[in-house]
Amino acid sequence: MTEEIKKEGNIVSFDMTIPSDRIEEAMTAVFNKEKHQFQLPGFRKGKVPRRLLESSYGEDLFFEDAVNDLIPEIYEAKADELKLKLAGQPNISLSEPYEKGKDVVLNVEVEVLPEIELKDYSRIEIPEIKYEVTDELIYNQLEAEKEKAKRAVVVEDRPSKEGDVVVIDYTGFVDEEEFEGGSAEGHSLTLGSNQFIPGFEEQLIDKNSGEDVEVKVTFPEDYGHEDLAGKEAIFDVHINEIQEIEYPELDDEFIKDISEFDTVDEYRADIREKMEEDFAKRAKADTKQVLLSKVADFADFEVPEAIIESGIDREIDNFANQIRGYGLDFEQYVEMTGGNEEEMRENFRETAYHNSKVQLIMEAIIEKEEIDATDEEVAEEIKRLAEEYFPEDEAQRDKFVELYSGENSRFIKDEFVFNKAVDKLMENVVYVEPEIEQEVVEEETNTEEE
């Protein structure tokens, strides 16, 4: 830093001088713009000379607006001269009151980006992530296909059993009075699904179609409706129909009906191939996330508060969009959960700090490694993303390409360069034994037939 700059942490302070002649020019410009607002005795509105206005209202009448008009240009030029990497908005104040004919000195205080000294990242140890396609996962996928093809068959020659679907009308009573929400007609209930309160479904097993059944139950103490919690209830139930669920046989004929393949073995092989491709992509993506979690250790520095606050804003915006995606009003959600903005900002601070630090380190790596993207690479990336997002909609693809071409392409370029830097770091990865065996959650493995 030069002698004219004082630095404490990420905060720098310095002075900016605006020559008196520039102040005078700017004040004249403000006067010409605002003179129509003024009127004094003996003068028509807008015709009062400037000297009389300043004599009546003070010499600094047009000073503040004049300085505000000059600050953006002066400040930008000074920041460039001092080669500052700005992190936030400046606080600017007068060093002394305005005095006609004198230069104006402004005190500036602003947060800047830290000087990042990167540690050695030539060897990055992370656990190797692999997701195995097991026979059980393939079996579950085949069972899911059978589940989609199941059908309900009405049975009349036997009583109900667990696993059947009973179509019922019911009315519930507590203290011999019907209660709200305790009745329905034509309701389909799978016996053994535990959809109703404990004890209800069991009393409908071994019953016949057309039979009336009195079901006695007790609502749980923690039941959602306090006026029913812990109370005994009686339901008058009429069984309209009993349905047995039939599943198709897993044979070649079934496979021909649901896919382009002729045999179970061919279809099973296709499921395995698609799962292996999906798992490989997921393992690569998850490995990169583990790598990024390590990046925060590549340098030690203080993250500027302005950047943390911007990061918190982004986290809250993302969270709010998720809440709205569920059809909820975000402000009402915050109120219902008993939260407030201050608590929410504090809750997101750690995440915002970590993400901001990683971003700053990645930018330092990008600069050190001289990673960039050509216009051709960015154009190809825009086309690739358009194909990924809108594979079946050419009109939407064209709109996407148009939107992110030209000046907006910088958003795609920044992300593309960031990913190139991650790929560069991946070259330095050394895999070590994972502390915890990686697993794939079954519910997430759902290979659908295209």
DSSP 179-204: EEEEEEEEEEEETTS--SSTTTGGGG
Interior/surface letters 30-50, b for 16+ CB within 10 angstroms, e for the rest: bbeeebeebeeeeeeeeebeb
Domains belonging to the chain, first-starting first, are 6-111 (3.30.70.1050), 151-246 (3.10.50.40), 256-444 (1.10.3120.10)
- How distant, in Å, are the alpha carbons of 91, 319, 338, 346 from that of 313? 21, 10, 20, 11
**Residue 279: left (phi > 0), alpha (psi -120 to 50), or beta?**
alpha
- Residue 154 has phi, psi (to 5 degrees) of -70, 130
**In the block, which residue shows the tokens 């996928």?**
141
What is the three-class DSSP state of 148?
Answer: helix
Provide CB contacts within 8 A for 390, sequence distance 6+.
396, 397, 400
d(CA 315, CA 443): 27
Provide CB contacts within 8 A for 366, sequence distance 6+.
417, 418, 421
- Residue 237 has phi, psi (to 5 degrees) of -120, 135
Q: Per residue in 192-201, pLDDT tens? A: 999 999 999 9
C-alpha torsion 120→125→126→131, nearest 10: 130
**Do the bridges between strand 11-18 and strand 232-246 make them parallel or antiparallel, or are there none, so unpaired?**
unpaired
d(CA 28, CA 419): 52
| Residue ranges of E strands in 230-345 | 232-246
Q: Answer for the pair 27, 19: CB distance below 8 angstroms, yes or no.
A: no
d(CA 274, CA 259): 14
For 37, which DSSP code? Answer: G
d(CA 257, CA 105): 83
What pLDDT, on a 0 to 100 scale, did the predictor assign at position 442? 46
Provide CB contacts within 8 A for 176, sequence distance 6+.
none
What pLDDT, on a 0 to 100 scale, did the predictor assign at position 429? 93
Q: What is the pTM of this model?
A: 0.70
d(CA 249, CA 447): 20
d(CA 90, CA 111): 7
**Which residues of the chain carry a pLDDT beneath 50?**
1-3, 436-437, 439, 441-450
For 112, which DSSP code? Answer: B
C-alpha torsion 341→344→346→347, nearest 10: 180
Residue 7: Cβ within 10 Å count: 11
Give the angle 26-31-34 at the CA atoms, nearest 5°. Answer: 125
What is the three-class DSSP state of 141?
Answer: helix
What value does the CA radius of gyration of the chain take, rounded to a whole number of Å?
Answer: 35
| Partner residues linked to 184 by β-bridges | 170
What pLDDT, on a 0 to 100 scale, did the predictor assign at position 443? 44
d(CA 31, CA 27): 6
| Residue ranges of E strands in 50-147 | 91-94, 104-111, 124-127
What pLDDT, on a 0 to 100 scale, did the predictor assign at position 181? 87
Q: Answer for the pair 152, 242: CB distance below 8 angstroms, yes or no.
A: no
